[in-house]
Amino acid sequence: MSGHILALSGGVGGAKLAAGLCAVLPPEQLTIAVNTGDDFEHLGLTICPDLDSVTYALAGLNDTVRGWGVADETWQAMAMLSRLGGPDWFNLGDRDLGLHLTRAMHLRAGESLSEITARLTVQLGIAHRVVPMSDDPVRTQVETDAGWLDFQHYFVREQCRPEVRGVRFAGADKARISPGFIQALSRPDLAAIVICPSNPWLSVDPILALPGLRQQIAALTVPVIAVSPLVGGTALKGPLAKLMAELGQPVTNLALAAHYGDLLDHLVIDETDAADAEALRDTGLCATVTQTVMRSSADRERLASEVLALAGKVD
């Protein structure tokens, strides 16, 4: 087996496949570039939810029931914050706060998000390279009847209830692709780009909105393989199906593939959506049907191996 894999990931769903890839690839053969459009400033801290979800999943610290944050968490700091009248709509556990405080300290000392992410992942025993998509701030915002909402206000505070009319990525036009991400894209041994099963509109689009990135990927000859986050014609978790409908899209793999457009060579879809395969192939795409639901580490590793086999890089 040879060649480097570049995975693009959002938070929880993407992190599962990222963990599978880490289990089957040695550290020098994988770079995971993570969405930072969900990041926001809160309580004087910069919170990076997708980087956190990937980091906790790879370190084996993630809470698999809640879906975000650290397992065996306690909430003493939040209880005090709430008692003191602080903003308690965004839950920061005591252990999780340890990470946010450390990140804030290094940011204040002038380190880049890339440097800090490298430091935190190493400290948590992660050997694989996890890089933010950019060191410059990009902030996803959604347009609702009440105007533009910052992503975490929409997602956590409003529980995705507002109808979404549009999505924008503030700052993306000026944001530079992070050094580790550029390095992976420029590797002569790059073998494939894997788009993890994250929300294309909310978690992958902010990455693809970075100036020049779509063109850079299009200029490469390596396959771009996405794993669909749709299962049985809906999303297992999160606002994807609701959002697609609100944006006037049919909630189908065909619409999802059309959204990625020419960028995509291969879409991996769930066995419950096997009926979509033919229509996808009719558009010129390669389509693979398999079980994409990842409930166990065995599921994650099997899916990762199947995706790598599509890249032609697994014996």
Residues that bind ligand FO1 (CB under 6 A): 10-12, 38, 47, 49-50, 52, 68-69, 90-92, 96, 152, 155-156
Whichever of 148 and 187 has its CB closer to ligand FO1, that residue is 148
Q: Does residue 133 contact residue 34 with C-beta atoms inside 8 Å?
A: yes
Q: b vs e for 279-315, b when ≥16 Cβ sit within 10 Å of the residue's Cβ?
A: ebeeeebebbbbebbbeeeebbbbbbbbbbebbebee
Query: Closest Cα to residue 116, out of 101, 105, 132, 103?
Result: 103
Token pair 């990937």: residue: 54
Q: b vs e for 124-147, b when ≥16 Cβ sit within 10 Å of the residue's Cβ?
A: eebebbbbbbbbbbbbbbbbbeee
Query: Closest Cα to residue 205, out of 158, 148, 244?
Result: 244
Cβ at position 57, least distance to ligand FO1 in Å: 12
Whichever of 8 and 192 has its CB closer to ligand FO1, that residue is 8
Whichever of 11 and 180 has its CB closer to ligand FO1, that residue is 11
Cβ at position 7, least distance to ligand FO1 in Å: 16
Cβ at position 61, least distance to ligand FO1 in Å: 12
Whichever of 91 and 216 has its CB closer to ligand FO1, that residue is 91
List the structure tokens of 176: 């530079």
Measuring CA to CA, how many Å separate 86 from each of 94, 149, 156? 16, 20, 16
For ligand FO1, the nearest residue by Cβ is 11
Cβ at position 239, least distance to ligand FO1 in Å: 9
The string of DSSP letters for 32-72 reads EEE--TT-EEETTEEE-HHHHHHHHHHHT-B-TTTSSSBTT
Whichever of 82 and 91 has its CB closer to ligand FO1, that residue is 91
Whichever of 170 and 277 has its CB closer to ligand FO1, that residue is 170
Cβ at position 268, least distance to ligand FO1 in Å: 20
Cβ at position 191, least distance to ligand FO1 in Å: 27
Q: How many Å from the N-terminal Cα to the C-terminal Cα in the chain?
A: 6
Task: Give the C-alpha separation, 92 to 156, whole Å.
Answer: 12
Whichever of 98 and 250 has its CB closer to ligand FO1, that residue is 98
Cβ at position 141, least distance to ligand FO1 in Å: 13
